[in-house]
Structure 1
Amino acid sequence: MQKTLNQRINRLIIRILVITMVTLLIFIWKSTSDQASAQLKNDLEVARNVLSQVLDTRQKQLANSATVLTDDFGFKGTVASRDKLTIDSALSNHGQRINADLMALFSLRGDTITSVPEKFIPGANFIYPKLIEEAVNQGNSDSILSLDGELYQVLFSSVKAPRPMAVAMMGFKIDKSIAEQLKRITQLETSIVVTPGDAQSYRVSTIDSDANMMNIQIENMDALAWFTLSFNSKNKLISTSFTLLEKDGLKVEIMLSNQVESLLADFISLQISIGLIALAAVLIAIMFGAMLSKKLVKPIEALTVHAKKIADGEYDEGVNVDGHSSELTTLSTAFETMQRNVKDREQKVIYQAQHDVLTTLYNRNHVEKLLSEKFERQECFQAIGINIFGFRGVNDTFGYHNGDLCLTELARRVDSLGGLSARLTGGELLWVPEKELSKDELVQIKGKLDGEVAAQGVSIPMTVAMGVINCPSDTHSPSDLFRKMNIVIDEAQITRQFILEFSDELEEKYTRRLSIITELKKELRENNGELALFYQPKLNLIQNKVLSVEALIRWNNKELGFVSPEDFIAVAEHAGFIGEVTTWVYQQAIRDIISFRDHDIDVMVAINISAQDVMNPELLSMVMALLRVNELPPSVLSFEMTEGHLVKDLGKAVQQLAIMREAGFKIAIDDFGTGYSSLSYLSKLPADILKIDKSFVLKLDQQESDRKIVRTVAKLAHDFNMEIVAEGVENQESLEILRNYGCEYAQGYHICRPIDAAKYIEWHKTFSLPN
């Protein structure tokens, strides 16, 4: 029986449709599975890149922390001292600040000096000497080490002053917390497999080792077929691994895994939906079946193309899918969300790798790259280092949180100036202006950067020091620029020249200061007799007797020769060990006082103290303990301090000086008339003695203006019930004038030069008033 044309057409269409639908279903199924597999591989590759970025970021953090530690003058001095307890303290303090798990110090030969915690035997050879040798030759070296069954990411950095004298090591433990951190970033199970040479391998993993998880099979990506992905994904993990380190017998592998079932849920759902839609289309209508097959293929192909673009790092193009089903729309939305997340995560990693976390300025590593590009282009530019003057004091006085607040505010002010800005070390910023600035313009810029910072109900005064380096005339590389920046900023802080340009003389002074720090700490530790106290008598003009002397410290070093007190005292204050110098002075003064008394010489010894000494609450208890041990009264000592130092924190200085005075010590204000003298200032000071600066006394017999000043100051001091000491008496005429003005004491070369304790004893016994 012949069939109608309509039937034939219908049968033909049905056959074509069935074949087409079957073929389309197979194609769609295969394409979807391939896409799932490709997407899984892409996700694992993205995870690998993120992991590399995390490890690089940790390495850069180690490098920055190592630079801060090895560039710190106090730490260099500590290393040079070779005092294990002091070094342990410095390493422990720095390690706590950066949350390091291991800190160590090695000699240049590779011997262990110390470690915190004590993981290495002091004096023993380090098991990886090549890393120390590399740090000595290149400045830094880094690696991942297996130590006693634990894995550490470490960085070695040479300590230079200016030549290498030791190698510091700091490291973070690579433990389960790191694996958990990587899992939070990558959303993948993370395993760290360590094979330390011939020893038994071990692993750190986020995969639980309970009974359930032990049944999970870990398969290689290449072993997964589309059927496995679609119907056999339960309790399976997709994993990929790569070798992080293979060196000196140590092999570290990173394995990233994810569950197939959770990853492929949307893909499996989509495949089932497509199959049901295809079957429904056959039953409903031949025409709709053909149209549906066409509309299903095109969106999937578009998504496949777009997935490849995402895999290639193209994130800007949108997902253009003409979806006619909720599943395709959901899949398209998922693609867009994944694309944004991957892009945001990549941008965040890049931003964190280039910027400082606290100030949001560029970090040292990134600005070094930018400066290198400027040097390669042979650009002429100014590099200006900016540091908060007395930043350590701000942290000690107001707390590290407020110190960070000051640094953040300074960074905001610098960034508002335009140009290139970065944070180099703890409190040091770098600013490269868009054009070269004159001295007057720099002064104006400094005025914008200075100013108080409001923090938690207090107002913190902030003054900045600026070091200027002209490139490429002063330097030709970023590393040398950073080194010279440290030199000029250090000089600006010490000399209080708050805008200072680099010069070769500054580098020489910087080297000498490092030598002074090393040699002075050595002398304080070993007491080789290089330090000595000299004494200059103060003649009582009423009794014509010497009742007190001023103690003056002197230092003759076998390497540096005679070092002026103005030099080494300033260096000790800046380096933070002026307290040790002060302790030595008091101990030596007590010994000399006992020697004077053994020779029937009863004099009061006046000792100069710094601003740091006055603000140190432990000074008074230390002095009182020395006096008690030697059975001496407080009247044998007095304190002298320059008024310019006191005025920096007058309220606290007055409080501390009042406590000293109540304990029985006399207080003298030195160099009066050269600083911030005023009646209101003088009235607040708990002082017994006022010392007139020698600049007003040297030519007292010749200049009427000096006589007026001295006469006025003497009357002023007496009105405040203070005694007067006139420094710089050079002749008998000046001495008589001072006597007539009612000055109680005179001091100067006309009476006696500063002499050591033994010579003073001889001088005191034979003293007679000069004619």
Structure 2
Amino acid sequence: MATRSLRSQIIGFLCASYTLAIVAAFLLFLALHTSLLREQGELRLNLASALLTAELEDREEALQQLLQRFASDAPLARSVLSDSPNAPALLRQWQGLHAPQLEISLHGGQGVLIASAKHDWLNQRLLAARSLVSTSAASHFLAAPSGQVYQVAVAPIGEDGVTRLLMAWRVKGEDFAGLAAEHRVEVSVSSTPDVAEPENSVLLGRYAQKRPLGISVAGEKQPHLVLMTLGDSTLGNAILGFFCLLVFGWAALVAVAGWLAVAQIDAFDKLAQWTQSMAEGKWVRASRLRSPHLEFLGLVYALDSMQDRIQRLIRKIQYQATHDILTGLRNQDELRRIADRRIASQGGDPFHLVGINIGNFREINDVFGPEVAESCLVNIARFLEQEEYTAARFYRGGIVVLREGEADEVAAVVLAKRLTRHHGVTKFNIELDVCTSIVAYPDDGEDAEILMRRLEIGLDTAREAPFHFHRYDRGLEERYVKRISLVEDLRIAMIDWDAGLSMYYQPKLNLRTGQVEKMEALIRWEHPVRGAVSPEEFIPLAEQAGLIGELSRWIVAQVAAQLAAWRQRDIYLQVAVNLSAQDIMRPEMLTYIEEQRERYELPADCLTFEIIESELMENPSEAVVLLQRLRSSGYGLAIDDFGTGYSSLSQLKKMPVNEVKIDCEFVRVLSSDEDDRKIVRSTLALASSFGLDVTAEGVEDEDSLCLLSSWGCEWAQGFYISRGMPGPAVRAWLERFRRRDMSRVTEAFGTKRVKI
């Protein structure tokens, strides 16, 4: 239909163009030809009128001569005037002798008319014309009652001049036949003098003039001569030719256009069908279409070339949509589709998925560069293809292998170990840390989506499992979902006061003075549904979910606000805030701390920050740079859980910290455990050599507190001193604590100071 419509538009355009061209040419021809005909017609009429006037003058002169001759024959004139019986015979005789071309009649017929004052209508006209006729002979034109027109010559007879002799010559159009033929005009005599002047006919090429004859007589209507040019058929023929040309041109154009349309419509219909087939994904070569026209064949070959490029592009897009670009393995979506088809087609035949994840992939990438890390994956993928495994790329550098039959844990571990030997990198001594997990159909899931999700959960669990292997077990997903839900609840708790997130503060006792001068900020979460959630549970989740930065900013804002509230009540304390290694790696964290401190107009020394030793040791060089920025800003820095991170002395001396905290595991039973005593005393001696303050955590009895004081430990905190408390409760607690006797502790300070 679209092809036919296009053809119709083309044919219509051609016809309209043809018509406009013909009409424009015809109008130009008509304007030029009409002007030329008008000039020629007026010229011919003027020439014919001049010749006609001359001929009438000649005829008038001839009438005068005849009249004079008649009058000179006195006997004849008297006989005619006296109306004698032989007058007609005499008159015919005279006519035959002198004017044989005229017919003679006595009473207004044709030819010579002779009358006296007593004769009928001629007498009346003579009397009317008397005033126009001089004493000499004169002539004019008269119309007879019969409608005939006469050219009249009148002469007086007799001495009184009353009696007159009249001679008339009938004026007829036939008299001017020679002139009319010569000049191609028609001459007619009108006895009705008031006849309308004929209109010019441009279309027929005819032009006319009406001229009066002679001198008008009072009371009489003057006869006229009508001159008209003969029709010029040139213009008429041109118009007829134009219409013939238009009709035949239209017929020829429609015939040619129809022939073209009929000749091409089948080819274009096939082309339209081919296009529709291509749109439906049915690839047919356009070169099968046949047409004798080179333009059509050029279009066909262009379409074939376009189809080839589209097919290559589609294959490329399909490959990219179903394969991993780096390794060439299938991607997760394609593996999911393969598993779904297997489930649908085989109706319950078991198979299992083996998930293999390179746990140290990021470390390999950081140490050896992305080329080496990617080369490991590419070589493993080639090995799997050679072994004809159905494998796919999984998340975070992992690979999934689909295997038939029941789950085989031993075979899965063996396959994972084989992959560690086929990473293909021989230039460096690289050892892959592989985690492995298995999920089976139908035991662990009824569709591919569930199996893939549970395999991901199993791989996360395998990182902490023995031999880095975990077989998915029921209930693991529920625990995983619970953790995810807990993360979402934590996100809400940071903006919703009713969600139970709050800050508690545990005092730090100055063993030298027996006063509480510092606090440690502890975050607590009383979940509306689950109850109390331990920080050991939700803080690691926040780190894994990328919420730890947001959570740390929330803590800093709460602590800054509480410090400002205390200072308004003249309570001046230093508060220690725990930061994760992720926090100190973010330069924006220091900016946020400064903003909060300036907002509440706090001095820098009222805040100190504690960082866990094990986290510092992961990237000690970077940690030193960022800790230096905090220290130079005036904040205190402490290493938390000192002694558990296996830090070296070389790293410790580079750290810009002013305090270390002994982990509670070494303090809780300090009074009864000799090994803990040795560790604590060694730590105190080491800290003293570096000029660092020491805080002992986990003090639960007075004996342990006194031992720490005697060894020169400056600070202590634990349940024996106080548990954590909300910020508003600190003032009342401080007042109660001041009444508490701490003399035994302060007196023991430094009595057995540890020295190296």
Q: Evaluate the alpha carbon distance shift between residue 222 and residue 568 of structure 1 in structure 2; reply closer, same or farther with a 3 A threshold.
A: farther
Which residue number corresponds to residue 719 of structure 2?
Answer: 749
- 1:427 CA displacement: 5.3
Question: What amino acid maps onto 1:383 in structure 2?
Answer: L
| Maintained 8 Å contact 2:505/2:520 | yes
Q: 2:656 aligns with which of 664, 676, 686?
A: 686
Which residue number corresponds to residue 251 of structure 2?
Answer: none
1:521-542 Cα deviation digits (max 9, x unpaired)? 2222333362111111111111
| 1:370-449 to 2 correspondences below 5 Å | 370-372=338-340, 375=343, 376=346, 381-387=351-357, 406=373, 409-410=376-377, 412-413=379-380, 416=383, 418=387, 419-425=389-395, 428-432=398-402, 436-438=408-410, 441=414, 444=417
Q: 1:546 aligns with which of 509, 516, 521?
A: 516
| 1:417-496 to 2 correspondences below 5 Å | 418=387, 419-425=389-395, 428-432=398-402, 436-438=408-410, 441=414, 444=417, 465-491=435-461
Residues of 1 paired with 2:501 and 2:263: CA distance?
A: 74
Question: What amino acid maps onto 1:413 in structure 2?
Answer: I
Q: Which moved more, 1:526-535 or 1:706-715?
A: 526-535
**TM-score, normalised via structure 1 length:** 0.52
1:392-447 Cα deviation digits (max 9, x unpaired)? 9999x99xxx7798466435435535533212457553234688343864784686
1:208-239 Cα deviation digits (max 9, x unpaired)? xxxxxxx9x999999536xx99xxx9xx9885
Q: Evaluate the alpha carbon distance shift between residue 758 and residue 265 of structure 1 in structure 2; reply closer, same or farther with a 3 A threshold.
A: same
Is the partner of 1:356 in helix, strand or coil? coil
- 1:676 CA displacement: 2.3
Is the partner of 2:601 in helix, strand or coil? coil
Which residue number corresponds to residue 736 of structure 2?
Answer: 766
Which residue number corresponds to residue 216 of structure 2?
Answer: none
Which residue number corresponds to residue 607 of structure 1?
Answer: 577
Identity within the alignment, %? 33
Residues of 2 paired with 1:351 and 1:608: CA distance?
A: 49
Question: What amino acid maps onto 1:718 in structure 2?
Answer: S
Which residue number corresponds to residue 335 of structure 2?
Answer: 367
- 1:391 CA displacement: 8.3
Residues of 2 paired with 1:580 and 1:478: CA distance?
A: 35
Question: What amino acid maps onto 1:613 in structure 2?
Answer: D
Q: Evaluate the alpha carbon distance shift between residue 469 and residue 260 of structure 1 in structure 2; reply closer, same or farther with a 3 A threshold.
A: closer
Which residue number corresponds to residue 501 of structure 1?
Answer: 471
- 1:476 CA displacement: 3.5
- By relative contact order (CA 8 Å, sep 6+), the higher-ranking structure is 1
Which residue number corresponds to residue 588 of structure 1?
Answer: 558
| 1:634-713 to 2 correspondences below 5 Å | 634-713=604-683
| Maintained 8 Å contact 1:239/1:258 | no
Q: Evaluate the alpha carbon distance shift between residue 701 and residue 436 of structure 1 in structure 2; reply closer, same or farther with a 3 A threshold.
A: same
| Maintained 8 Å contact 1:240/1:256 | no
- 1:390 CA displacement: 9.1
Which residue number corresponds to residue 241 of structure 1?
Answer: 276
Residues of 2 paired with 1:572 and 1:262: CA distance?
A: 72
Which residue number corresponds to residue 224 of structure 1?
Answer: 266
Question: What amino acid maps onto 2:408 in structure 1?
Answer: E
1:16-44 Cα deviation digits (max 9, x unpaired)? xxxxxxxxxxxxxxxxxxxxxxxxxxxxx
Residues of 2 paired with 1:733 and 1:420: CA distance?
A: 66
| Maintained 8 Å contact 1:241/1:256 | no
Residues of 2 paired with 1:558 and 1:363: CA distance?
A: 41
Residues of 2 paired with 1:394 and 1:595: CA distance?
A: 49
Question: What amino acid maps onto 1:436 in structure 2?
Answer: D
Residues of 2 paired with 1:343 and 1:539: CA distance?
A: 78
**TM-score, normalised via structure 2 length:** 0.53
Please, what is the CA RMSD of the aligned residues?
5.0
1:616-669 Cα deviation digits (max 9, x unpaired)? 110111101111121111111111111111122121111111111111111111
| Maintained 8 Å contact 2:705/2:716 | yes
Which residue number corresponds to residue 591 of structure 2?
Answer: 621
| Maintained 8 Å contact 1:549/1:603 | yes
- 1:472 CA displacement: 3.9
Q: Does 1:575 align with 2:610?
A: no
1:255-283 Cα deviation digits (max 9, x unpaired)? 998997999979999xxxxxxxxxxxxxx
Q: Which has the higher strand share?
A: 1
Q: Evaluate the alpha carbon distance shift between residue 586 and residue 339 of structure 1 in structure 2; reply closer, same or farther with a 3 A threshold.
A: closer
| Maintained 8 Å contact 1:644/1:675 | yes
| Maintained 8 Å contact 1:611/1:645 | yes
Which residue number corresponds to residue 503 of structure 2?
Answer: 533
Residues of 2 paired with 1:518 and 1:344: CA distance?
A: 45
Question: What amino acid maps onto 1:368 in structure 2?
Answer: R
Unaligned 5+ segments in structure 1 are: 1-214, 246-251, 270-330
Q: Which moved more, 1:481-490 or 1:716-725?
A: 481-490
| Maintained 8 Å contact 2:521/2:576 | yes
Is the partner of 1:240 in helix, strand or coil? helix
Q: Evaluate the alpha carbon distance shift between residue 267 and residue 597 of structure 1 in structure 2; reply closer, same or farther with a 3 A threshold.
A: closer
Which residue number corresponds to residue 176 of structure 1?
Answer: none
Is the partner of 1:548 in helix, strand or coil? strand
Which residue number corresponds to residue 287 of structure 1?
Answer: none
Flag the structure with larger Rg.
Answer: 2
Unaligned 5+ segments in structure 2 are: 1-256, 745-756
Q: Evaluate the alpha carbon distance shift between residue 263 and residue 504 of structure 1 in structure 2; reply closer, same or farther with a 3 A threshold.
A: farther
Which residue number corresponds to residue 357 of structure 1?
Answer: 325
> How many matched pairs?
472
| Maintained 8 Å contact 2:290/2:297 | no
Is the partner of 1:366 in helix, strand or coil? helix
Residues of 2 paired with 1:355 and 1:264: CA distance?
A: 45
Q: Evaluate the alpha carbon distance shift between residue 527 and residue 403 of structure 1 in structure 2; reply closer, same or farther with a 3 A threshold.
A: farther
Is the partner of 1:241 in helix, strand or coil? helix
| Maintained 8 Å contact 2:380/2:419 | no
- 1:684 CA displacement: 2.6
- 1:493 CA displacement: 6.5
Question: What amino acid maps onto 2:266 in structure 1?
Answer: L
Is the partner of 2:706 in helix, strand or coil? helix
Which residue number corresponds to residue 733 of structure 1?
Answer: 703
1:123-176 Cα deviation digits (max 9, x unpaired)? xxxxxxxxxxxxxxxxxxxxxxxxxxxxxxxxxxxxxxxxxxxxxxxxxxxxxx
